[in-house]
Chain A
Amino acid sequence: MQKIEDRSETKYYLITLKVNGDSYTRAVKANTLLVNFLREELDLTGTKKGCELGDCGSCTVLLDGKPVNSCLVLALEAEGHEITTIEGLSQNDKLDKLQEAFVENAAIQCGYCTPGMIMSAKALLTRNPHPTEGEVREAIAGNLCRCTGYVNIVKAIMSAAEEQQ
């Protein structure tokens, strides 16, 4: 990891991250969090910031396919890993099945938890294409929604799973 100093002796590190299939090289400070790297450096503002302490899950992204809280990962620590954000799910302007299912099942109210919720669900369905309701609830236990009561969210994830069959 190359270290660069600017005129005021602030240190930057040159890192390359693969985000949604594309490689981005940026000079970042050590204290740059992955969530801020995504939102501020790459303008990928689909990933939300909520509690910023790893409790609410609104900043959930996939790191090598696994859901993590991007507010608790340093951009430097994510170097060399593959990141998928909510922007990476749609293909050729077509929404992912999960995104469609959230729309169809009215699983969205204010929408703030939705990107993180869908990333957790995406990881679940990749690993376990036919989850039980219990497994769905467990997979999204780290994603808090204060609007919906989760009923339609669970319904949406289950229906996306059925559609895969």
Chain B
Amino acid sequence: MYLPDFEYYAPATLSEACELLEKLGPGAKVIAGGTDILSKMKQELLFPKAIVSLKYLSGLSEIRLESNNDVIIGAKATHNSLIDSPVLQEKYPSLCNAAHQMANNQVRNIGTVGGNIVNAVPSADLPPLLIALGAKIKLVGTNGERVLPLEDFFTGPNESIIKQDEILTEFIISEQSLTGSTYIKFALRRSGALAVASVAVAVAMEGNTCRKARIVLGAVAPIPLRAKKAEEMLTGKEITDELLEEAGSVASAESKPISDIRGSAEYRRDLVRVLTRRALRKAINEGHV
């Protein structure tokens, strides 16, 4: 399988990269790890005229803890660097765990967090958990930068609000009140398989009372979906097994799955019910994020 011809640019600075993307127009695509874009090009799903490489842009791979306790994840950080990050192991081990469930070791060594988001695949593993953790993203373009909740980023399968001249540079997690979070993925194999359905949960507990809950469903809607009704019914309540069971049913009713090669809509809806209950129980019991 050979790739079609394209122009290649490897700018030295971020502003140069944004200007190039604007100048070259919609036929120009960004390459970071390349695991998504190159396989799409080989399958003739994507035909970029030009590829703008981020390889010489420094400082975008860092994962660090700021003095105000914000965690910053550079968009070029690979999945395996998330797994190995001492900062994330300490602050958000659920993210290490979610990254570990992706693809296989070879892809995790080169695929980037930024790419996993910008490709906007409905079954992607990191978006549900990052949204549950309240992550914000920074988009840098020719007219400066904007910071917005990741939740507002996706508009449909393979679609988002990112503009032609913009590059996703980092994730910011500033939520400090959470007591637990988790990501549960159901796939047909343990490795190298996309999610049939997945559920990410982040909670803030006070004793046995739920102060805040975010439930985000993956692979069961065109975009990662907040199960807001299920979240509401938990907020301010004492947690019981019955309540979690009910939250699972409500989340299931909120999901909008399709039937495809990996599973039927009915099966996915039932998975959401079970996975939501399990994820909530795990996040509540864990007592740490």
B-contacting residues of A (Cβ < 8 Å)?
1, 11, 13, 29-31, 33, 36, 52-55, 57, 60, 63, 66-69, 71-74, 76-77, 79, 120, 138-139, 141-142
Whole-angstrom distance between the alpha carbons of A138 and B83 in the complex? 14
Number of interface residues of B (CB under 8 A): 30
Interface secondary structure of A, over-half rule: mixed
Q: Which 5 A-B pairs have the closest CB atoms?
A: A142-B104, A141-B191, A30-B8, A31-B3, A52-B1
Interface secondary structure of B, over-half rule: loop
Q: Is the CB of B191 within 8 A of A142?
A: yes
Q: Is the CB of B43 within 8 A of A142?
A: no
Q: A31-B5, A66-B80 are in contact. List 15 more A-B contacts (CB 8 A).
A: A36-B2, A52-B1, A67-B106, A68-B106, A68-B109, A72-B38, A72-B39, A74-B31, A74-B38, A76-B10, A77-B31, A77-B53, A120-B105, A138-B105, A138-B191
Chain B residues lying within 8 Å of A79, measured Cβ to Cβ, are 55
Q: Is the CB of B106 within 8 A of A69?
A: yes
Q: Is the CB of A53 within 8 A of B39?
A: yes
Identify the interface centre among B1, B2, B51: most chain A CB within 10 Å of its CB: B1
Whole-angstrom distance between the alpha carbons of A71 and B106 in the complex? 11
Q: Is the CB of A141 within 8 A of B4?
A: no
Q: Is the CB of A54 within 8 A of B106?
A: yes
Identify 27 residue pairs between A and B in the complex whose beta-carbon atoms are under 8 Å apart, listed by A's number. A1-B10, A13-B8, A30-B6, A31-B4, A31-B5, A33-B38, A52-B1, A52-B42, A53-B39, A54-B103, A55-B104, A57-B106, A66-B80, A69-B35, A69-B107, A69-B110, A72-B39, A72-B107, A72-B110, A74-B31, A76-B8, A76-B10, A77-B55, A79-B55, A141-B192, A142-B106, A142-B191
